[in-house]
Structure formats: C-alpha cells, structure tokens
Chain A
C-alpha cells in the first residue's frame, strides 16, 4: 500500500527534555490511522511537527513522497488540520468562518462560494449558515470546526481529538463523517482518548508513550500483544497494560 506520510527519525527536544524521540511512522494512503497515548506522550507535538507548526529538532516529514518543509507551498493544500481547540471566531457567521479558513489555501471567488456551501452541507450546518458561531452549541461548533478544514479538499485530514465535550449524537455524526471522508478517498490521522471511537473507525492504531511508538497495528494485533484471546480484552485494557496505570501529571 502506498505510503502518504512518513516521519524519519522525528525528534523534538525542549531544553534537555525529549518530547518526541526518533519517531518513524508510516501512514498509508486511504487508511484511518489512530494515534493514542496518555497526556504528555508526545502526540500533539508529533501532530504539530507533521503540520509544520513546530520545527523538529531532528528528522523530517515526508508527505506524498516529498519533504514537507521544502515543498510546503505545493503540499499544504493537500493537508487539512482539525485542531482540538475550537478554532473559529464566535463573532463571525458560520459561512464567514468557513470562508476565512478555506481562503487561506488560496481558494477564492466562485470556487470559494461553492466550497463554503459544500462544507456547511457536509457537516449539516447549511440551514444555520447565517448564524453567528457564538450562538452554536458545543457539537455545532465542533462540526463548524471541521467544515473550516475541509473546504480545500485535502487528501490527508488530521483530527486532533475532534469529539471532546460533545453529546453522543454529535459524536456519532462526526465519526460517521470521518468514515465518509475516508470512503471518499481521504487518509485520516485521528487522535483521541476515547478508545471505543478509535477502535470503531481506525484501521491501524499506534500507541505512543514517552515520545516513542510502543505498539502499532490493527486493534486485534494490539490486543494479541497482551492476551491470546482478543475477545477477552478491550483496547483500553491494552492501552493501560502498555502505558501503565500511573497518573501522568504533565
């Protein structure tokens, strides 16, 4: 299977603290890749380095066969990032938020108008397009957050905990849309602390701790690391077995 994103010895140090340690990851085209890890494991830093928000201390990120940092202008349009934070402006209407963030990728004019409608339709907010984002519920804001990142039709979508703090209906809707995006050809990187979500939508899962990948494979493969009968354990038990039960106070 074609590799769409590869990290080579990706390392990030803050002073003497190693946050990400020689990370070598391969994300295959068309898969939904789950990245799990306790707080402070290095997931967000890894995501930030993949998106070139944070500069690696060492190593590189290869996206679609090219060095991402060196070919940023060309490659950035193929990347969509949905941050954990609700990165929207409350005092802008729904369509204005989508317009603002989609236009950052160089889309304008009629193409932009079409992208706005398509994105809002995709997340079920067409009827509320003219309402201010500040009047939305938590789930609607999450959906708008997604709409703001998909208007430029990225080939790789990075979701950083997109279902935090929302009701089951909204979570179900978002997960179904992620699956739909994947079925339409997008590759997904998905991080979450909700194990059942990850198990439900991810084709491959990596568990990260102390800046390193400590296990990687399908849900079944991970379960087989701790028991012979995969039916006996949940992904959460696997996670706790591999990362330990000690509290992570970072």
Chain B
C-alpha cells in the first residue's frame, strides 16, 4: 500500500531543485570555504618531515623482538628510532635534538616528549599505541614476517587475523605477556580538506527536514492528509511514507556530495563501508528526529526553526564549525552532541582507517531513530484523536 506513496514521494523530493542544492551543492561550497579558511590553522598541527626519537631497551623486554619491525614502521611514519642505552632521557633529548624518547621496559613503555615538539610527541605516542594494539590483535607474527620484507604498518595490519596476544607473545618469546594498551590521547593530524569535507556533509545531512518540507507543506495545505485518513492509512504508514523517501533522497544526495568531494576536492573518506554505515544511520536518525519535531508542532516553520536550532547547537559542540580535536570545549559537553560521534567516527575512519566511535555512533543513531519514530507516530495518533 505504501510502496507507491514512497515511490512518488521520492520523485517529489528529487524533483525539488532546493533539495539538490542543499544536500549536494551546499556541503561542497561550505567545505571549500571552511577548508581554505582553516587550512593554515590545521597545518600547524601537522609535523614537518622526519624526526628522530631515542629509545632504551630494558633486558628481557617484550619489545626487543619487535624492535626491527617498529623501526621499519616508524620509518614509514617519519619517526626515526635511535638507540641510547645510557643517560638521562631529558639530557639525551637536549644533546641530540631528539623530539621524544621511549624507555621500553619489560611489558610497558614510558614516553618523554618536548613542549616545543608537541605534534611529534603525539605522533610517537600514536605510533606506539597503534603498534601495541596491532600486537594485541594477534598480528605480531605476521607483522614480524612482513617487516622482515620491509612491509609497512598498514600493509602488515591487513595480514591474517585470529591469533591472540598470548599466542603471539608465545610465538615470539615462549612466555605469556600482557601489554597494557592506553588509548591514544590524540588523532593523527588530518588536513582541513578532509576534516571539513566530512563534517559539512554530515551537518547538511542533519538538516534532512528541508527535503520533505515541500511535501509536508502540500499535504497540510491541500488536504492530502485527509485523503490518507479517508483511505484508512495508519499513522505508522503515513510516517514511513515520509521517513523512507527522506532517508533515501538525503542519503543519495549526500553520497553524491561525498563522491564529488572525494574526486574533485580530494577529500579522503577512509574506510568506505564503515563510513557509509555511519552516514546512513545518521541520516536516518536526523530524518526521524526532525519528523518527530514536525509531528509535535504540526508547523513546518516552527519545526525548521526548532530542529535547526537544535542541530546547530549539536554541530557547534560536535565539531561542525571548528575541529573537535583541538577545540577548547570539554569532552563531556561534546559527548552530549549526537553529531560528535558521527564526526569523530568518520574523521578517524578517514585518517586512521578505524575508529572506536563507529559503534557508539551507530548505536546512538539507532536509538534516536527508534525513539523519534515512536514519538512521531504517537503524536500523529494524538492529533488525529483530537
């Protein structure tokens, strides 16, 4: 019954030039403006060329067997390791112009960094964290083998899976060793084109209500809703007849914007499938949330004002207008914004290839969709009864 309603609503949405402008052109224009405006700011967070770090290896350290591999991986990331068995790390750093120092102990390590080389220190920290994570994921033996052939970290990470840390450690040393893994405190530097290329497409996706504004306005103004009621359509059917086309059209336009941004503006989207999943769920959540606001107010103008105000605040705290990585807003406040999780996940997917925020982003979007949909149907039923 609603197949034809969905089909024709999709046609109506695609036939609106405003939709194509808002969801394809606008993100591209805004990302170009913001990427250029903030490019010099973000460049300051990027390291300049290869740099040297010192290290000291304790006796029986677990890291000893993997040090050759770490050197190779480091070389690919412009981090050059130099061994220093004696001396105070701080003095060594000053004397040899080292940007950092690592003291490898039996099953842990300590990093020294310099105030005047913050980005290099973060890069070193990230490199070691990523290395240990890979070890914990059971890829040590593969990495060792590939490292011997000179393969880089990313290539090695794509190797065989399944072996656990204990097994990997036994393979290397015959002992069971558990490494403590700390989360990296930062993300590797991302350039302004990638960052704004991603977050602006996300932001316009959160303005999904505009996509259905023409249809919803017509339905109300010309009594089309009455026809749905006369035909015996349930509130759920009417709701799905709006939600599904909205989701489909906004997502399609966003996908086109993403493809254009990737091909013409060289925005890197990283892990394609996970990025697509995060985007799709966010568009679904945005559509459901804004249809719920409309069901509550029954006024398009009011709904647009309310939902855009909310989305702007979420975007402000969630990294739409400045980089969430370097903003002064506290993490707790950022985490109140549903947009933050999507931005963070997509940006990390772009520059790291993986993100711990993918799960939370999908979960939050899913919960928003279910709750908003339930409320929208309830509001619609209440209005009909009234």
Interface residues of A (CB under 8 A from B): 48, 51-53, 55, 72-73, 76, 79, 81, 83-92, 96, 99-101, 103-106, 108, 112, 148-149
Say yes or no: B12 contacts A89, CB within 8 Å.
yes
> Which residues of A have CB within 8 Å of B16?
91
Q: Does B15 have its Cβ within 8 Å of any Cβ on chain A?
A: yes
Q: With A81-B227, A83-B223, A84-B223 in contact, is A104–B385 under 8 Å at CB?
A: no
Interface residues of B (CB under 8 A from A): 1, 3-5, 8, 11-12, 15-16, 214-215, 218, 221-224, 226-233, 384-385
Query: What CA separation (Å) do A100 and B229 show in the bound complex?
Result: 14
Say yes or no: B230 contacts A53, CB within 8 Å.
yes
> Which residues of B have CB within 8 Å of A76?
230-232
Say yes or no: A87 contacts B226, CB within 8 Å.
yes
Say yes or no: A104 contacts B12, CB within 8 Å.
no
Say yes or no: B4 contacts A100, CB within 8 Å.
yes
> Which residues of B have CB within 8 Å of A101?
227, 231
> Which residues of B have CB within 8 Å of A105?
231
Say yes or no: B218 contacts A89, CB within 8 Å.
yes
A112 to chain B, nearest CB (A): 8
Say yes or no: A100 contacts B231, CB within 8 Å.
no
B231 to chain A, nearest CB (A): 4
Say yes or no: B8 contacts A92, CB within 8 Å.
yes
Say yes or no: B5 contacts A100, CB within 8 Å.
yes
Say yes or no: B12 contacts A91, CB within 8 Å.
yes
Say yes or no: A104 contacts B15, CB within 8 Å.
no
Say yes or no: A92 contacts B11, CB within 8 Å.
yes
Can you give 30 A-B contacts (C-beta < 8 A)?
A: A51-B226, A53-B226, A53-B229, A53-B230, A72-B232, A73-B232, A76-B230, A76-B231, A81-B227, A83-B223, A85-B221, A85-B226, A87-B223, A88-B224, A89-B8, A89-B12, A91-B11, A91-B15, A92-B12, A96-B11, A99-B4, A100-B5, A101-B231, A103-B4, A104-B227, A104-B228, A106-B1, A108-B3, A112-B4, A149-B227
Query: What CA separation (Å) do A85 and B385 show in the bound complex?
Result: 22
B21 to chain A, nearest CB (A): 16
Which of A51, A53, A73, A89 lies at the interface centre, i.e. has the most chain B CB atoms within 10 A of its CB? A89
Closest to B13 in A: A91
> Which residues of A have CB within 8 Å of B224?
87-89
Return the contact of A91 from the options B214, B221, B226, B384 (Cβ within 8 A): B214
Query: What CA separation (Å) do A212 and B229 show in the bound complex?
Result: 25
> Which residues of A have CB within 8 Å of B12?
89, 91-92
Query: What CA separation (Å) do A76 and B4 show in the bound complex?
Result: 18
Say yes or no: A104 contacts B1, CB within 8 Å.
yes
Closest to A132 in B: B15
> Which residues of A have CB within 8 Å of B215?
89
Say yes or no: B233 contacts A104, CB within 8 Å.
yes
Query: What CA separation (Å) do A146 and B78 show in the bound complex?
Result: 73
Return the contact of A87 from the options B11, B227, B233, B385 (Cβ within 8 A): B227
Q: Which 4 A-B pairs have the closest CB atoms?
A: A103-B4, A104-B231, A85-B223, A76-B232
B227 to chain A, nearest CB (A): 5
Closest to A74 in B: B232
Query: What CA separation (Å) do A184 and B221 show in the bound complex?
Result: 33
Q: With A76-B231, A91-B16, A103-B1 in contact, is A83–B226 under 8 Å at CB?
A: yes
Closest to A112 in B: B4
Which of B5, B8, B221, B231 lies at the interface centre, i.e. has the most chain A CB atoms within 10 A of its CB? B231
Which of B16, B223, B228 lies at the interface centre, i.e. has the most chain A CB atoms within 10 A of its CB? B223
Q: With A88-B222, A96-B8 in contact, is A83–B227 under 8 Å at CB?
A: yes
Which of B4, B16, B214 lies at the interface centre, i.e. has the most chain A CB atoms within 10 A of its CB? B4
A134 to chain B, nearest CB (A): 10
Query: What CA separation (Å) do A102 and B73 show in the bound complex?
Result: 65
Closest to B237 in A: A104
> Which residues of A have CB within 8 Å of B227?
81, 83, 87, 101, 104, 148-149
Q: With A79-B230, A99-B8 in contact, is A55–B1 under 8 Å at CB?
A: no
B218 to chain A, nearest CB (A): 6
Say yes or no: B4 contacts A108, CB within 8 Å.
yes
> Which residues of A have CB within 8 Å of B228?
104
Query: What CA separation (Å) do A92 and B11 show in the bound complex?
Result: 8
A183 to chain B, nearest CB (A): 24
Query: What CA separation (Å) do A161 and B286 show in the bound complex?
Result: 40
A22 to chain B, nearest CB (A): 22
> Which residues of B have CB within 8 Å of A104?
1, 4-5, 227-228, 231, 233
Query: What CA separation (Å) do A48 and B227 show in the bound complex?
Result: 11
With A79-B230, A91-B16, A104-B233 already in contact, 6 other A-B pairs whose C-beta atoms are closer than 8 Å: A51-B226, A81-B227, A87-B226, A88-B224, A90-B218, A148-B227
> Which residues of B have CB within 8 Å of A79?
230
Query: What CA separation (Å) do A106 and B226 show in the bound complex?
Result: 17
Which of B214, B228, B232 lies at the interface centre, i.e. has the most chain A CB atoms within 10 A of its CB? B232
Which of B5, B8, B221 lies at the interface centre, i.e. has the most chain A CB atoms within 10 A of its CB? B8
Closest to A55 in B: B385
Which of A51, A73, A101, A149 lies at the interface centre, i.e. has the most chain B CB atoms within 10 A of its CB? A101
> Which residues of A have CB within 8 Å of B221?
85
Query: What CA separation (Å) do A92 and B58 show in the bound complex?
Result: 75
> Which residues of B have CB within 8 Å of A103?
1, 3-5
A66 to chain B, nearest CB (A): 14
> Which residues of A have CB within 8 Å of B222?
85-88
> Which residues of A have CB within 8 Å of B230?
51-53, 76, 79, 81
B12 to chain A, nearest CB (A): 5
> Which residues of A have CB within 8 Å of B5?
100, 103-104
> Which residues of B have CB within 8 Å of A88?
222, 224
